[in-house]
Amino acid sequence: MQKEIRASFNQSFSEVKYQEFLADLNNATQGSLEFRVAETPVFVPKSLKDKLISTCESIIDVIAGDDFKAKTDKAIPTEQNVPNENEHTSFLAIDFAVCQDDQGEFVPQLIELQGFPSLFGFQYLLSETFQKHYNIPDDYDFLFNDFDRKSYIDAFKKLVVSDEQLENVIILEIYPEKQKTRVDFEVTEKLIGVKAVCLTKIIKEGRKLFYINDGVKTPIHRIYNRLIFDDLTNFPDLRTAFSLTDDVDVEWIGHPNWFFRISKYTMPFLNNPYIPECRFLSDYTGKFPENLSDYVLKPLFSFAGTGVKINVSESDLTTITDPENYILQKKVKYEPVIQTTDGSAVKCEIRMLYIWQKDEARPILLSNLARLSRGEMIGVRFNKDFDWVGGSVCFMER
């Protein structure tokens, strides 16, 4: 998006250099990456960065409001309501499409948001590896708010570990060694010392939880949660001693309820020039927008794009029996803004990554994630067999 920097990067790019970059990423982990990493980082000019941040702050105004919990109580499915919810989310991830306005200026458009952790560990490694293999301008950074690499780790560790002993804090997942994002667990353990533990390995005794750590039965006091209920539906016959909805003596870092509260459910409450029109389907009293081709239908309770309908007809809407569980959102036009070495351009989505310390009034912007796409939608299954697509990181102009 910065023409001079993009031209310089593309001119110096080679497939050999890219393969060396990937090899370095793979060598930093125990196994090869399970998802595609793009050939390039994203260079974001300050004008777009400022728009991204100001839009995020307007969203945070809503989330930090005194009435937000009351507004979003219905977002949590009754059978998935987890006890001991904390006062606010520990994490906030806000996704934007990069678009262009009528004047040709780069502008963000909100796609989704979630009160759930993203790849805080892997993005640290990815940005570091890009900086090692490519010439990244000194006045561009992947961090915000005067964080450097040391203070990044310190802030992340303070949030997850706090004053606990490392052995009493775990990352919770289901079969973490099989997850495509397992590289993030490996990097996180290296950065802050917290291990990933499978839900099936948790021992429950009354209100207490334990796991076996190097052969020793060890109490769990804090859970850095990376497990969502949708993942558990893939294992209908799973039997565990501990269920997420059990009332136990642990502190959640990334409480499961916030995954539902801060989600597509939040979007109808937001208002900003860079947030597309969005309403609950149940809010329409029989009269839908005439230009339905300009809208996308999304189920509230789905993950990774499942159930999203891009080409919407009125019959699609009238046959839905639970309209309160759907949103109708104005479509966003992703603009191919990143030039590749073959003269084509690819689309870009930017995720702004926030952490929210326990006693702070608001979350703070820490890092970012980017995804590049040639397909109709962002995501691995829509970008198979393409190059210059996949996960990346933004370096934004200071």
* Statement: residue 274 has pLDDT above 70: yes
* Cα distances (angstroms) measured from residue 76 to each of 63, 66, 222: 16, 18, 22
Answer whether residue 158 shows pLDDT above 90: yes
Q: Which residues contact 216 (CB under 8 A, 6 or more apart)?
A: none
CB 266 within 8 A of CB 298: no
- Examine the pLDDT at 219 and tell me if it is beyond 60: yes
**CA distances for 268 relative to 106, 242, 314, 322, angstroms:** 24, 35, 20, 17
Res 304 pLDDT > 90: no
pLDDT of residue 308 exceeding 90, the answer is no
Lowest-confidence pick of 74-88, 174-188, 245-259, 381-395: 381-395
Q: What percent of the chain has pLDDT over 70?
A: 96
Q: Which of 4-18, 21-35, 250-264, 299-313 has the lowest mean pLDDT?
A: 299-313
Average pLDDT over every residue of 232-253? 94
Q: What is the mean pLDDT of residues 217-233?
A: 94
Mean pLDDT of 130-145: 96
Res 269 pLDDT > 70: yes
What was the pLDDT predicted at 207? 98
Average pLDDT over residues 305-313: 83
Q: Any long-range contacts for 45-50 (C-beta under 8 Å, 24+ apart)?
A: 45/1, 45/2, 45/106, 45/397, 46/396, 46/397, 46/398, 47/105, 47/106, 48/1, 48/98, 48/106, 48/107, 48/108, 49/396, 49/397
Residue 92 bridge partners (DSSP) = 354
Query: Please, what sign has the CA dihedral across residues 94, 98, 99, 101?
Result: positive
